[in-house]
Amino acid sequence: MLLRLEIRNIALIEEVKINFDEGLNVLTGETGAGKSVIIDSINILLGERFSRDLIRTGQDRALIEAVFQADNDRMIELYEKYGIEPESDGTLVISREFNISGRSICRINGRLVTVSAIKKIGGYLIDMHGQHDNLSLLRNETHIELLDAFGGERIQVLKRRYKELYEKRKNVMNRLQELLGDEKDRERKIDLLRYQVDEIRKARLSIGEEDDLNRQKVILANAGKIKETLSSVYETLFEGTRVKPSCFDDIGEAISRLNDISGYDEKYKRIAGIMEDIYYQLEDAREEIRRERDSVEYNPYLLEQVEERLDLIFKLKRKYGDTIQEILQYCKRSEEELERIIRSDEYIR
Q: In this model, does residue 258 exceed pLDDT 90?
A: no
Pick the more confident residue, 146 or 276.
276
Provide the whole-model pTM: 0.41
Q: Residue 244: what pLDDT?
A: 75
Q: In this model, does residue 125 exceed pLDDT 70?
A: yes
Distance, in Å, from the CA atom of 69 to the CA atom of 71, rounded to the nearest integer, reads: 7
Which amino acid, 250? Answer: D
Answer yes or no: are the C-beta atoms of 259 and 279 closer than 8 Å: no
Q: What is the pLDDT of residues 150-188, one digit of tens each?
A: 777 788 788 888 989 999 999 888 877 766 666 677 788
State the virtual CA torsion across 242, 243, 247, 251 in degrees, nearest 10.
70
Average pLDDT of span 72-84: 76
- Determine the CATH number of domain 2-126: 3.40.50.300
Q: Residue 346: what pLDDT?
A: 61
303: Cβ–Cβ under 8 A, 6 or more apart, which residues? 217, 220, 221
Average pLDDT of span 256-279: 87
48: Cβ–Cβ under 8 A, 6 or more apart, which residues? 40
Answer yes or no: are the C-beta atoms of 182 and 299 closer than 8 Å: no
Q: Residue 137: what pLDDT?
A: 67
Sign of CA dihedral 319, 321, 327, 329: negative
Distance, in Å, from the CA atom of 286 to the CA atom of 263, rounded to the nearest integer, reads: 31
Q: Residue 168: what pLDDT?
A: 92
**Domain boundary assignment for the chain:** 2-126, 136-180, 209-339
Strand order of the β-sheet with 111-112 is 13-19, 2-10, 61-69, 91-99, 104-108, 111-112
State the chain's mean pLDDT as an integer: 84
Q: In this model, does residue 202 exceed pLDDT 90?
A: yes
Distance, in Å, from the CA atom of 258 to the CA atom of 12, rounded to the nearest integer, reads: 106
Q: Residue 201: what pLDDT?
A: 94
Query: If residue 314 lies in a helix (H) or strand (E), which one and from where to where?
Result: helix 300-320
Q: In this model, does residue 71 exceed pLDDT 80?
A: no
Long-range pairs for 321-327: beta carbons < 8 A, 24 or more residues apart: 324/205, 324/206, 324/207, 324/208, 324/209, 324/210, 325/207, 327/200, 327/205
Percent of the chain with pLDDT over 90: 25
Helix/strand/coil for 133: coil
Q: Residue 154: what pLDDT?
A: 81
Q: In this model, does residue 148 exceed pLDDT 80?
A: no
Q: In this model, does residue 265 exceed pLDDT 60?
A: yes
Q: What is the pLDDT of residues 26-51, one digit of tens each?
A: 888 787 767 888 888 888 888 888 88
Phi first, then psi, for residue 133 (nearest 5°) are -140, 155
